[in-house]
Chains A and B, each alone.
Chain A
Amino acid sequence: MTITHHPPEALLAGFATGALDEAERLVVGVHISACPRCSRFVQAIEQLAGKSLEEAPPTAMSAGALDLVMSGIHGPRPAGTVRLEAGRATLGGQDLPELLRSCRFGKRRLVAPGISMQPITLSGSAGSRAFLLQSAPGTRMLEHTHTGTELTCVLKGSFSHDGGYYGPGDFDYGDNEVDHRPVVGAEEPCLCLVAMTGNLRMNGLLGRLIGPFVRL
């Protein structure tokens, strides 16, 4: 897997510091797990965050905090995180990255000819939504811009737009200044993981006509 498109550094740093919302963290995390270069970057930010912690202004803990902590360490351990059994991710039974295998998926549905989406159920109500998007080979997406941001990580297949060619592991960042028209590679269907804030805005007459029906 040759990855040529990486997330902007601000997103990688946000991943390292916990500033991303759940959907964004998922997409960036999937890229990082496939990209040694970005995982090194995240680790570097964590080391620098350690410095920030060392240099942070110490703020007095509440009275009795130490006692609470000391009784906490001797108390019962909390139940571990519940791990869901693997294989819950469907979408045609395709292999999904490890990070996605424990996700909960909603119902897959067609959103436009040749394009289906399957939402991922997240626990928070925060800004962005995550979903898998599968497009048939050769699908030409409508020219669109975004009212918010769109983070995409290619899982399988490929697409191309003004920004270049995007294959497995590649990360695409779109915001309201990007006006692009992706074309899915002809070889095989393209499966992407997407986090999106705001809505897609279809450009052109056709887009305006069908826009209201294409709800992602």
Chain B
Amino acid sequence: MIAAIRAERVPFRRRVDTPRTDGSRLAVGASRKPSTKVEWADLIGRVASRRDQEAFKALFEHFAPRIKGLMLKLGCNADEAEEIAQGALIAIWRKADQFDPASTGAAAWIFTIARNLRIDSLRRTARAGRLGTDAELADSPDPAEPADILISRVENAVRVKAAIERLSAEQSKVIQLSFIEEQPHPEIASQLGIPLGTVKSRIRLAMNRLRELLDES
């Protein structure tokens, strides 16, 4: 209860935004989805079982530019975004056998790989700013990964999937825009075509609905 009330006051975390260029949205189509539905999970499976380079290249073509695009949106500069995208693809090749389609979607799995690289990249930047203490901290473990492991993904997967499917398209969109893509409220209002004054309550409603669906399903 308290958390729900207090949640209203949590400031949105905002990194210093790189200036948005108006052309960014026009870039859609630069790498269009194939017309037949590609099962990304199958391609990851082929990389895992046969070290299939063609499947891997298809994953690269589709996901690398999107990882770069999302990282730019999240405030990375172009070099960081490029590096994270390349690193994520290399990690996909190496960790393909750890991908479990029963516990997560292909895109979500790839997102978590990119996210962990982003965390590492932020940490490296912070560390570089603390010259002199590097040696002492060189073997600090990565808290991002153990936290991942501690989540019992498979047990949760069915419930999570059911909840996401029952969330309305508008509600999942508003959560994506506010909590994942960290867009400011005026941007959300214009993307969803709703008045600025109702953005906050839409976000709250969507979050409550997601909590509710996860609790009941």
* A contact residues vs B (CB 8 Å cutoff): 5-11, 13-20, 22, 25-26, 29, 32-33, 36-37, 39-62, 65-66, 68-70, 72-73, 77, 81-84, 98-99, 102-104, 121-126, 163-164, 171, 173, 175, 177-178
Q: Are A99 and B164 in contact (CB under 8 A)?
A: no
Q: Are A45 and B179 in contact (CB under 8 A)?
A: yes
6 inter-chain pairs at a CB distance below 8 angstroms, sorted by A residue, are A33-B147, A48-B164, A48-B176, A53-B111, A99-B150, A125-B130
Q: Are A19 and B86 in contact (CB under 8 A)?
A: no
Q: A9-B207, A66-B57, A124-B123 are in contact. Are A81 and B145 (CB under 8 A)?
A: yes
Other 10 A-B pairs with CB < 8 A, given A50-B110, A99-B147: A7-B3, A49-B112, A58-B31, A60-B27, A61-B68, A65-B85, A123-B127, A125-B127, A125-B130, A177-B9
Q: A57-B27, A58-B65, A65-B82 are in contact. Are A47 and B104 (CB under 8 A)?
A: yes
CA A47 to CA B181, docked complex, whole Å = 13
Within 8 A of A (CB), among B156-204: 156-157, 159-161, 163-164, 172, 175-176, 179-182
Q: Are B86 and A69 in contact (CB under 8 A)?
A: yes
Q: Are B70 and A123 in contact (CB under 8 A)?
A: no
Q: Are A121 and B141 in contact (CB under 8 A)?
A: no
Residues of A within 8 A of B94 (CB): 73, 77
| Majority secondary structure, B binding face | helix
**5 closest cross-chain pairs (CB), A and B:** A50-B108, A124-B126, A50-B107, A8-B7, A58-B65
Residues of B within 8 A of A70 (CB): 53
Q: Are A32 and B147 in contact (CB under 8 A)?
A: yes
CA A41 to CA B141, docked complex, whole Å = 25
Q: Are B143 and A26 in contact (CB under 8 A)?
A: yes
Q: A52-B181, A177-B9 are in contact. Are A69 and B105 (CB under 8 A)?
A: no
Q: Are B7 and A9 in contact (CB under 8 A)?
A: yes
CA A22 to CA B82, docked complex, whole Å = 23
